[in-house]
Amino acid sequence: MENNPAPSAHNELLTPYSSLLTKSAFNHSCHAELVSASERHPHTGLQAVGQRVAFTMAEILLSLTIIGVVAAITLPSLTGNINERTWNTQRKALYSRMSQAISLMPALNGYGQYTYTNGDDGTISTGVDTATETFITSGLAKVLKINNICDNSHLPDCGIPSRITTLNTGSLAIPTTLFELNSMFYETISDTTETFQNPQSYVNTKAVAFETQNGESIVAYYNPYCTGTAGEYYWKYSQVQMCANFIFDLNGTKGPNTVGKDIGFMTALYSSNSVLVMPLPANKDLDSGMYQTMAASSCTSFNNEYRVPNREELYSMFYNKELIGNMMPDYYWSSTLIGTSNDIEAFRLSFESGRGGRSPKTINDYVRCIKR
């Protein structure tokens, strides 16, 4: 029987080390085969574990293009919403300050001097006219913080734009007189049955502008002979009710100078117990004429934020109808009800002549909804 020699101490020391080398080599070989076999996924083309992953230049450019397209679509809408919220906040703050100021004035009529002469051809020429400027300097400026006042020849110096975009996207030069604001302060309308003449058709005062401490630019139109109180509902011309009308620009010389955005209007009515209104009309009438009883629900259906204008808001819309741009020369309903429980009527106003009064609610008239 052959005897195997006993392992020497030298061999015993080498055997574990050799085993380790053999295993390491085997593992390295297997790993190398795996990496070689799967350098890229057969479907995705991605590199295997142990190699760097990167986007190609084409993939980067495509991603940037998609981001740019999405931004171009969403940013204008986002910016527009932010601007609208800002304008709404500014509009409400301005109304609050102006309403408080008007309420502190003892009376709105009688400021300044206004003279005129009748020409042989029926035209009226203005002589001395300090009415609007005196209304601001001696009246409004005592109850409202005003930084700057600009006379009729220097309206742009107070940040008033020369032209604005109307609510129906037309272009309108800023009116510089009461007649330019609304020709029915000055004209007569005749039809087959009646002649409509504003009893104050001789009043054509010049506009004056001012800047508030909060940065708004405002141009004022003033009627020194305004009369009336809020309790009068018989048929009469609305022109005599207007004491002061204001066109305002919330951000001065900045754009877009558009009615319903940064441009708006407000009106102070009645010589005593005065009322200030600031309607924001919709850009179109409701689809057809309707009974007054249907107006409220129709405005809510048009937009939940809209309401039927009351009598004073309807007056303001008539005075500023050129800024709105597409009002019909016909009657419009208000939300103001008149009469007893057994005989309730509603106030309606002609946007042709400015004449208005109470009528049965079962008449088909136009409706223009507003926001407040």
Q: Are 353 and 197 in contact (CB under 8 A)?
A: no
Separation in Å, CA 185 to CA 18, 201, 336: 114, 5, 24
Residue 255's pLDDT is 87
* β 355-359/343-350 pair status: antiparallel
310 in a domain, yes or no? Answer: yes
Give the distance, in angstroms, between the CA of residue 226 and the centroid of all CA atoms in the same chain. 29
Scanning the structure block, which residue is given the tokens 């004429």? 289
Residue 254 lies in a domain: yes
Q: Give residue 80's pLDDT.
A: 59
| Cis geometry, peptide bond prior to residue 256 (ω within 30 degrees of 0) | yes
List CB contacts of 216: < 8 A, sequence separation 6 or more: 90, 94, 248, 249, 250, 252
What is the structure's pLDDT at 14? Answer: 45
User: Does residue 65 form part of some domain?
Assistant: no
Quote the tokens at residue 172: 């309108």
Is residue 51 domain-resident? Answer: no
Cα–Cα distance measured from residue 260 to residue 352, given in angstroms and rounded to the nearest whole number: 23
**Tokens read off for 369:** 């909804």
**pLDDT the model gives residue 18:** 47
In the chain, the percentage of residues whose pLDDT exceeds 90 is: 57
**CA gap 228, 226 in Å, rounded:** 7
105 in a structural domain: yes
Q: Are 164 and 154 in contact (CB under 8 A)?
A: no
pTM: 0.77
pLDDT the model gives residue 32? 45
Q: In the chain, how many domains are there?
A: 1
Tell me, yes or no, whether 55 lies in a domain. no
Q: How far apart are CA 206 and CA 221, in angstroms?
A: 7
The ranges of the chain with pLDDT < 70 are 1-53, 75-80, 118-124, 187-199, 201, 231-233, 342
The bridge status of strand 124-129 relative to strand 114-118 is antiparallel
Contact 190, 184 (CB under 8 A): no
Domain extent at residue 314: 79-371
pLDDT reported for residue 343: 74
Alpha helix segments (H runs only) across 54-204: 57-104, 131-134, 178-181
pLDDT of residue 297: 95
State whether residue 323 is helix, strand or coil: helix
Local structure of 49: helix, strand or coil: coil
Neighbours of 197 (CB within 10 A): 15
Supply the DSSP symbol for 10: H
Tell me if 23 is assigned to some domain.
no
pLDDT for 190 equals 60
What pLDDT, on the 0 to 100 scale, is given for residue 20?
Answer: 43
Residue 26 forms part of a structural domain: no
> Residue 44 has what pLDDT?
52
